[in-house]
Amino acid sequence: MNWKFWSKKKDTPKKKKSAVREWTDAIVFAVIAATLIRTFFIEAYVIPTPSMERSLLVGDFLFVSKVNYGARTPITPIAFPFAHHTMPLINTKAYWDGIQLPYYRLPGLSDVKKGDVVVFNYPMDADSPFYRPVDKRENFIKRCQGAPGDTLSVVDGQVYVNRKIAPNPPGEQMEYSYSTNGVDLNPQITDELNITLYEGHTYQAMTKESADKLKGYSNIKSLKPILSQKGISDPNSAVYPTNPGHPVGPPNLMLNGKQPDFKWSVDNYGPIIIPKKGWTVKLDSMTYPLYERCIRTYENNKLEVKGNDIFINGKKTDSYTFKMNYFWMMGDNRHDSDDSRFWGFVPEDHIVGKALFIWMSWDDNAPFFSKIRWSRLFNGIH
């Protein structure tokens, strides 16, 4: 830009830019513009796992809005453009964490609502040996089932929020056990009903609508959902806060010398109160295991237990007031989802954005000329 436009003197003629200089300027401008768009407005993602089936399928490409909840300003500002946390091919860090900025979110169009499909950074990366800053952790996509201050429970696979039945996602999928009269399921029928097959097992995953249709076939003798029992802890599928597959960090969960057994499972869970900014929780042998991770890891406090006493930042206490809002996220494919039932709450500073619509859908398992799922293109996400 010619900042001397106000001058009455005639400017000297400018040298014409070389082709290399013009291309360099164009590329720099494009990178800066694209980075700003990805950071503050909209970004593309792809679904890598079946945890959201059948609402979202593996190979769905999404646009995710940063505007809806307000864009999160960069926490790790020095990073290579278009690389999330790892450089392609050379597998080195794509960012420098020598500078870390405080969490801040621009004003958005709305808060995260129950039922929204949300992209967020994986909370358990905080305990990973490959520790990364919040905004450089793996991106997960799940459905918000509980908002700050809600009381959530799961009873026989049905989610309840504040003692009321929560609306079930349109593509929610469960595992069903079945038996036949000796005639196997026709592959054409399983394709038509969008049934997820598990080879060698007498159970399959499907929506309730598909299950109701499958019951009507003459070769199906019985069909029922597979649900974990109430009041029994399943060591093969232990859930938060005592899940051994997702360690909750160095301090033990014991207070008064006991580790509580909540007897919760994936299909019968809670009730549990989701922390809200400004909410004060009384810490005792039942609440301490549920909230110690939020207090220690997400809100950066030094937490110690000495006998029956709890110390936060060196001060003995029996309560804590939360500094952030938290959310409860679950996959629509309820028995094939790594979600809040296994690792707990999602802090507000981990929220990336709201999934808006599918712009491309690619099926790797389909024949070459059928790989694009045309019927899914530009579908909104509900």
Single-letter amino acid code for the residue at 316: K
CA dihedral over 263, 269, 274, 279, signed as positive or negative: negative
Residue 368 has pLDDT above 70, yes or no: yes
Task: Work out the mean pLDDT of the chain and round it to a whole number.
Answer: 88
What CATH number was assigned to the domain covering residues 174-225?
A: 3.30.70
107 phi/psi in degrees, rounded to 5: -60, 140
Cα separation of 38 and 179, whole Å? 49
Q: Quick: pLDDT tens for 229-255.
A: 888 777 667 899 876 555 444 345 556
Residue 272 has pLDDT above 90, yes or no: yes
Residue 37 has pLDDT above 80, yes or no: yes
Tell me if 268 sits within 8 A of 230, measured CB to CB. yes
Confidence (pLDDT) at 249: 42
The pTM score is 0.89
Residue 8 has pLDDT above 60, yes or no: no
Q: CB under 8 Å to 314, separation ≥6 — which residues?
A: 302
Please report which confidence band the pLDDT of residue 339 belongs to, taking 50, 70 and 90 as the band edges: very high
- Domain 18-148+327-382 grouped into CATH 2.120.10.70: no
Confidence (pLDDT) at 3: 47
Q: Where are the domains of the chain?
A: 18-148+327-382, 174-225
Q: 23: which strand partners?
A: none
Q: Which of 294, 293, 282, 288 is nearest to 256 (CA)?
A: 288
Cα separation of 190 and 92, whole Å? 43
CA dihedral over 307, 312, 316, 318, signed as positive or negative: negative
CA angle 227, 207, 267 (to 5 degrees): 20
Q: Quick: pLDDT tens for 98-132.
A: 999 999 999 999 999 999 999 999 998 877 767 89
Confidence (pLDDT) at 153: 97
Burial of residue 302 (CB within 10 Å: 0-12, 13-18, 19+) is exposed
Confidence (pLDDT) at 160: 98
